Amino acid sequence: MIGVFHSPNSMKVTSDTCLCEAHHIAPRHRPRTHSPPTFYNRPIVVRTFSSPILRLLPLAILIAISGISSINQSPLQAQTPAPDAAQTASPDSPADIRQPGGRLVLVLPFDNRSGQPNLSWIGDSFPYTLDQRLTSAGFLTIGRDDREYALDHLGLPPGFRPSRATTIRIAQTLDADFVVVGSFNVENGRIAVQAQVLEVNQLRMSQPLTDSAELPRLFDVENAIAWKVAQRMDPHFAIAEQTFLAAAGGVKLSSFEDYIRGTSAPTSEERLKRLEAAVTETPDYTAALLALGKEQYAARQYEAAAATLAKVPPTDRVALEAGFYGGLARFNIAKYAEAQSAFAFVASRLPLPEVVNDQGVALSRQGKDAVPLFEQVTAADPNDADYHFNLAVALLGHSDIAGATREVQAALKLHSDDPEASELLTRLQSTHGSAANLKAIIGAEGFDPTTRIRRTWSEASFRQVAFQLDQMRAIQMATLPPAEQAVQYAQLGVQYLAQGLIPEAEQEFHSALTADPNNAAAHAGIAQVRERSGSAEDARAEANASLKLAPNVDAYLVLARLDLQADSLATSASDVADALKLEPANSAALGMKTALAARGQSLP
């Protein structure tokens, strides 16, 4: 059984390597109205079935992935029982901890050892940055809401500083394979950070992973620590450190501080103030836009929330969550067509049952037929009473008394204490199967059953499904010839590059080269990644390697840009000319031609 609880006495661990005995977990000072839905050892909206593949079957039905339902093994590694209590956690050698295993990672807030309480936000920022980077490297990370769930579930008070044994219990509650703990100190304007990786199943602790820099370079320190942690956990990790260092984008440090403080502030007023400051200073800071939009939605500022969330580009990593809450905001101000469009966008990328349900509800509120959507949802998740109720209401529009009766009975079987469903069933039965007076019987005395919307986005469900779909994609890819695998991975890398997801792109390009080292497109992709991360020499080497395998526009343009930056105008012009010979209408190459002309350099 996963996540078995042990008594505190059974979890005693001794080690010369400290697991941050004084580790501080900053509480979220927002009252919780319900347990956050997630997949870690507790019920979620995407139902947990008895076998790994059945957990994914609902989604497979929705998106009709051919052959996935026949896979009989979960890509997530099964948990093994914790070692005997007497086992000692000791520092490892790289060969010990760097064995392939599970990919579920819990990053705890880092302990503030600076003696400056005003810097505690930095400790809270480490899980955010590490979660982002580790996710891009193919790990599945556990979010803050789920960390808080574990604390609540264990009965731990706010401000609790867990011991080593309690840290392990938190990890086991969330079924984590690895836990990352750490601390930081700030002295004379420099920040020094230490992190350690605990392999939960073996109770092995890594040697300290350290980094330091001037405090204004906090992003570099956090990304460097993330890279070292990923290297520690994955023996095949191939993404360059410079790629992680370049992943922070153009976010200002003061905006980052406002974002971190804003997501954990004790009052709605302060949260709004901090998050508004973050997006005012960095208008394209999408994480802050999402957080601000959600806070505005929680404060019932629906017009403002819709406007804020609409600023998140559809290609951004948080676009789906922004689309979901944007849809809810529009739904709450009766803009049902706009809400339907928002939900449809999310469902087209990742059709979780709750998203498709809300798409159907928004459609039904416009007086349109939503039966096909609700049928998809009930097929995907037959254990949700509201989904059956919604289908019953939709079937009434077809005067399908038998179908509506069947679905409302299914809803009551799952949730018998539902007065509206019980009343609807009574009225349906009183029709005796005749549709002659159906509307009059159902609507008597003002009874008006309406479809039910889902108002919570399960980030954990989203991340797990996306992660497992990636794993399934890899399984399907493995059935292809190596050369075709490389082509597919390289194409995915190009898509990630277009979205600005540099670590994810490099991961795909490396997968392509693992399948086929002679794939020119993958080498060109790595060249672009190195160029964007500021490694000009490595970028040039990869571009030349690509061109030795096959002439291609991307590699020529990398060389052209590098030569232009080095004021080698004639060489750059030659590169552009070669690119245009391959693709005369290529917009990037034509743009380079214009840039060279502006500096007085014509093409050969």
3-class SS string, 160-210: CCCCHHHHHHHHHHCCCCEEEEEEEEEECCEEEEEEEEEECCCCEECCCEE
CATH node for 371-450: 1.25.40
Q: What percent of the chain is modeled with pLDDT above 70?
A: 81
pLDDT of residue 37 exceeding 50, the answer is no
Rg (CA), the chain: 27
Q: Where in the chain do CATH 1.25.40.10 domains reside?
A: 459-598
Q: Check residue 218 and give its pLDDT.
A: 95
pLDDT of residue 29 exceeding 50, the answer is no
pLDDT of residue 83 exceeding 80, the answer is no
Write the pLDDT tens digit of every residue in 351-370: 889 999 999 999 999 999 99
Tokens of 3: 């996540």
Q: Check residue 292 and give its pLDDT.
A: 97
- As a whole number, mean pLDDT of residues 78-87 equals 34
pLDDT of residue 32 exceeding 60, the answer is no
- As a whole number, mean pLDDT of residues 292-305 equals 96
- As a whole number, mean pLDDT of residues 489-496 equals 92
Q: How confident is the model at residue 470 (pLDDT cuts 50, 70, 90)?
A: confident
Q: What percent of the chain is modeled with pLDDT above 90?
A: 61
**Nearest by Cα to 164 from 2, 3, 11, 5:** 11
Q: Write the DSSP symbol of residue 2.
A: T
Q: How confident is the model at residue 148 (pLDDT cuts 50, 70, 90)?
A: confident
**Top-tier CATH class for 459-598:** mainly alpha
Beta-strand ranges (E) seen in 34-177 are: 104-107, 111-112, 140-141
pLDDT of residue 159 exceeding 70, the answer is no
Instruction: Using the Cα atoms of residue 27, residue 33, residue 35 and residue 37 in order, give the sign of their dihedral.
Output: negative
pLDDT of residue 4 exceeding 80, the answer is no
Q: What's the whole-model pTM score?
A: 0.73
Q: Check residue 500 and give its pLDDT.
A: 80
pLDDT of residue 233 exceeding 70, the answer is yes
The least confident of 79-88, 189-198, 362-371, 440-449 is 79-88
Q: How many CA atoms lie within 13 A of 179 on its CB side?
A: 30
Q: How far apart are CA 530 and CA 536, in angstroms?
A: 7
Of 138 and 517, the structure prediction assigns the larger pLDDT to 517
Q: Check residue 157 and give its pLDDT.
A: 66
Q: How far apart are CA 109 and CA 345, in angstroms?
A: 34
Mean pLDDT of the chain, nearest integer: 82
pLDDT of residue 428 exceeding 50, the answer is yes
Of 145 and 298, the structure prediction assigns the larger pLDDT to 298
Q: Check residue 467 and give its pLDDT.
A: 72
**Nearest by Cα to 385 from 430, 338, 436, 422:** 422
198 phi and psi, to 5 degrees? -100, 125
pLDDT of residue 9 exceeding 90, the answer is no
pLDDT of residue 53 exceeding 70, the answer is no
**Nearest by Cα to 18 from 111, 121, 148:** 111
Q: How many CA atoms lie within 13 A of 61 on its CB side?
A: 19
pLDDT of residue 264 exceeding 60, the answer is yes
Instruction: Using the Cα atoms of residue 266, residue 175, residue 133 and residue 56 in order, give the sign of their dihedral.
Output: negative
CATH node for 8-248: 3.40.50.10610
Question: 3-class SS at 270?
Answer: helix
- As a whole number, mean pLDDT of residues 102-125 equals 91
Write the pLDDT tens digit of every residue in 539-563: 999 999 999 999 999 999 999 999 9
Q: How confident is the model at residue 88 (pLDDT cuts 50, 70, 90)?
A: very low
Q: Check residue 433 and give its pLDDT.
A: 86
Q: Check residue 145 and give its pLDDT.
A: 76
Q: How far apart are CA 589 and CA 586, in angstroms?
A: 5
pLDDT of residue 30 exceeding 90, the answer is no
Q: How confident is the model at residue 54 (pLDDT cuts 50, 70, 90)?
A: very low
pLDDT of residue 57 exceeding 60, the answer is no
DSSP code string of 420-473: HHHHHHHHHHHTTT--TTHHHHHHGGG------------HHHHHHHHHHHHHHH
